[in-house]
Amino acid sequence: MFPLLTLPRRPRSAYNPDRLASDLIKTQVRHAQGVEERLPRAQQSGMAINLDTLTEGQAAVYLEHITRISHPAGAPKAPPPAKPRRRPKPTRRPKPTRRAKATRRPAMRRPLSRRAKIRGSSRRKRARRARRSRG
């Protein structure tokens, strides 16, 4: 592979579609108007062009209309269809390695007295429910 040229940075601040059109662009528009005159009415742009105040952005809109009719193949290619979005897979925790297992902190366990109390309390609730259902 041959080396390629490194392109200078784009001068973004230069962008000015409101710049008045040069004689060159005005000529291009005049030529396009000549083309438009020969088009069927349905294809005409209906745009009123004032060459004295024409900006580059306005000229571009008009030229695009005429060029699209003369050369439809020049339309920007549609971007490739977007791939259907997959539902993100649930994230799994990586399996702990042996080393990780060894150093893993033991799960926090409630104090025994508290566990017993809770366990006892649920037993009592179940017993109460059973009595109610019987009665």
Partner 1 sequence: MATGLDQLKHIVVLMMENRSFDHMLGALRATNSAIDGFPDDWTNPDPTGAAVKVQPLAASRGQLTPDPDHHFPAVDKQIFNGDTSATRQATMQGFVRSFYDQQQDIAHASQILYYFTPSQLPILTQLAQQFVVFNRWFASIPGPTICNRAFAHYGTSFGSVSMDMIFLGKGQSLYQRLLAGGHTTKLYYFDQASSTMEVANLLQNQPQIFGTYQDFLDACTNGQLPDYSFVEPNYSDHAGPTGELLASDQHPDHDVIEGERFIGSIYNAIRNNATLWASTALLIVYDEHGGIFDHVPPPDCTPDGYTADGTATGTGQPFAFNRLGVRVPAILVSPWVAKGVDNRTFEHASIPATVTNFFLKTYDQTNTDRTPREKAATTFLDLLTLDTMRTDV
- Give the binding site for partner 1 (CB under 8 A): 1-2, 4-12, 14-17, 19, 21-25, 27-28, 30-32, 34-35, 38, 56-57, 59-61, 63-64, 66-68, 70-71, 73-77
Cβ nearer to partner 1, comparing 68 with 129: 68
Give 75's DSSP letter.
S
Which residues, 6+ apart, have CB-to-CB distance to 66 below 8 Å?
A: 32, 35, 36, 45
Smallest distance from partner 1 to CB 55, Å: 9
Q: Look up residue 98 and give its amino acid.
A: R
Say how far apart CA 119 and CA 117 lie, in whole Å: 5
Smallest distance from partner 1 to CB 33, Å: 9
Smallest distance from partner 1 to CB 48, Å: 19
Which residues, 6+ apart, have CB-to-CB distance to 118 below 8 Å?
A: 110
